[in-house]
Chains A and B, each alone.
Chain A
Amino acid sequence: QKEVEQNSGPLSVPEGAIASLNCTYSDRGSQSFFWYRQYSGKSPELIMSIYSNGDKEDGRFTAQLNKASQYVSLLIRDSQPSDSATYLCAVAGGTSYGKLTFGQGTILTVHP
């Protein structure tokens, strides 16, 4: 089982739609959860962090965490072509102190 697994892509949505990205993790003791966006040829950029169960909203982005199900998601409302990128889920804490583990990424394309 992969430590952090993201829903397989690529994901394509029309402009203005909601994009839903999902991630599961294996270490039940994990404490910190992050979403990164990476444009082609660029470095990963932190867009959301979440630490407790429930929803966290920041502009058009909403992160959702369910520790019982070991599941974290990212919703992007009113998707824009500029949101087209690879989205990376990352998990920290748990049994491996000092380890920030990434999922394999989901490529999102928002078409006009």
Chain B
Amino acid sequence: DTAVSQTPKYLVTQMGNDKSIKCEQNLGHDTMYWYKQDSKKFLKIMFSYNNKELIINETVPNRFSPKSPDKAHLNLHINSLELGDSAVYFCASTPALGGAFFGQGTRLTVV
């Protein structure tokens, strides 16, 4: 039973394309996140949702649009992909008190 699962694990696409990454958690947590990890391994928060409501948007370009159909799912859609979007994207969820649990990551490569 995977607690936080992301799909796909690898994504290779051309500049200008639109792509989506899906995330699901079965931990019953209310809060979910999207993080971007660059080549220097810095984990930068992108979005935070609490019970389907957006609570944090860290000045991410409008090309990135998260969607949370219910509190167990948080998907990330990216329009007009650019070379600089290449990174590993992590989904995570957290209980009201406690640390976050991460998905396995999606390695996005834009060519």
Q: Is the interface of A mostly helix, strand, loop or mixed?
A: strand
Q: Which residues of chain B have C-beta atoms less than 8 A from A38's C-beta?
A: 41
Whether B104 lies near A100 (C-beta < 8 A) is no
Whether A43 lies near B90 (C-beta < 8 A) is yes
In Å, the complex CA distance between A34 and B35 comes to 16
Q: Which residues of chain A have C-beta atoms less than 8 A from B111's C-beta?
A: none
Nearest-neighbor residue (CB-CB) of B31 within chain A = A98
Within 8 A of A (CB), among B93-109: 94, 97-105
Q: Which of B11-19, B20-28, B43-51 contacts A (4 or more CB under 8 A)?
A: B43-51
Contact of B103 among A36, A43, A51, A100 (CB under 8 A): A43
Q: Which residues of chain A have C-beta atoms less than 8 A from B99's C-beta?
A: 32, 34, 36, 46, 49, 90
Whether B41 lies near A86 (C-beta < 8 A) is yes
Contact of A44 among B44, B48, B55, B90 (CB under 8 A): B90
Task: Place the interface of chain A in its size category.
Answer: 20 to 34
Nearest-neighbor residue (CB-CB) of B101 within chain A = A46
Q: Which residues of chain A have C-beta atoms less than 8 A from B92's C-beta?
A: 100
- Shortest CB distance B96–A (Å): 10
Whether B56 lies near A44 (C-beta < 8 A) is no
Q: Which of A16-24, A53-61, A66-74, A101-109 contacts B (4 or more CB under 8 A)?
A: A101-109
In Å, the complex CA distance between A51 and B33 comes to 21
Residues 38-49 of chain A, each 1 if its beta carbon lies under 8 Å from chain B, else 0? 100011111001
Instruction: Identify the B interface with A (CB < 8 A).
Output: 31, 33, 35, 40-45, 48, 50, 55-56, 90, 92, 94, 97-105
Could you list 29 examples of A-B contacts with CB < 8 Å? A32-B98, A32-B99, A34-B100, A38-B41, A42-B104, A42-B105, A43-B102, A43-B104, A43-B105, A44-B43, A44-B90, A46-B100, A49-B98, A49-B99, A92-B94, A97-B55, A98-B31, A98-B56, A99-B45, A99-B48, A99-B56, A100-B33, A100-B45, A100-B100, A101-B45, A102-B42, A102-B45, A104-B40, A105-B42
Instruction: Identify the A interface with B (CB < 8 A).
Output: 32, 34, 36, 38, 42-46, 49, 51, 86, 88, 90, 92, 96-102, 104-105
